[in-house]
Amino acid sequence: MVAALELYFDPKAQSRVYTLWDALESVGVPSLRAVTHQRHRPHLSLAVADSLDADAVAAALDGLPAAPPLRLSLSYVGQFAGGVLFLGPAASAELAAHHVEVIRRLDAAGVPVADTYRPGAWVPHCTLSMICRGEAISRAVPRCMDVLPLELTLSGAAVADHGRGLYTPL
């Protein structure tokens, strides 16, 4: 999957995640900064698919802000199978409700969404590393704990096609 509806963070929080990415790189843990086109921004993905038509996403969300100015607190370190290391937000009824509405609108418009990003399966997260396995975890987690909790406000959104390095702000 290479395309996503991404929610971006306020400048201060974004800077703190960039600093964390650099700290991970300094201890030999490849961060999201270093993968693919090297233009990733710290974000939460609301929807992911093999491809997303930015115009169709924008039309489906007409009248609904893609990134409402929600306050979130990244409060824990997590890992998905395969070595994806991330920071996760504390539970937020507002974020969950926004996600449900976004997916409902995308479904109604026929915009595809991966099963792992559907309500009930979605785990909101800010990816730090795509390949943090084995003993690298013991180097990464202390750096992550140094920045937690990380308070942020959602401040923007885009449809990002990572396979082609394209970003369409919403």
Q: What is the pLDDT of residue 39?
A: 74
* pLDDT tens-digit readout, 114-124: 999 999 999 99
CA angle 80, 83, 84 (to 5 degrees): 55
Res. 1: pLDDT tops 60: no
pTM of the model: 0.95
Asked whether 110 and 68 are in contact (CB, 8 A), the reply is: no
Q: What is the pLDDT of residue 127?
A: 97
Asked whether 59 and 69 are in contact (CB, 8 A), the reply is: no
Q: Which CATH number do you get for residue 88?
A: 3.90.1140.10
Res. 68: pLDDT tops 80: yes
Range of the domain at 94: 3-169
Asked whether 106 and 66 are in contact (CB, 8 A), the reply is: no
How far apart are the C-alpha atoms of 41 and 75, rounded to whole Å?
19
* pLDDT tens-digit readout, 39-52: 789 999 999 999 99
Backbone angles phi, psi at 70, to 5 degrees: -75, 140
* pLDDT tens-digit readout, 25-41: 999 999 998 776 667 89
Structural domain count of the chain: 1
Predicted confidence band at 166 (pLDDT cuts at 50, 70, 90)?
confident
Strands 126-129 and 150-161, by their bridges, are unpaired
- Can you count the helices (H) and strands (E) in the chain? 4, 7
Two tokens, residue 22: 């650099």
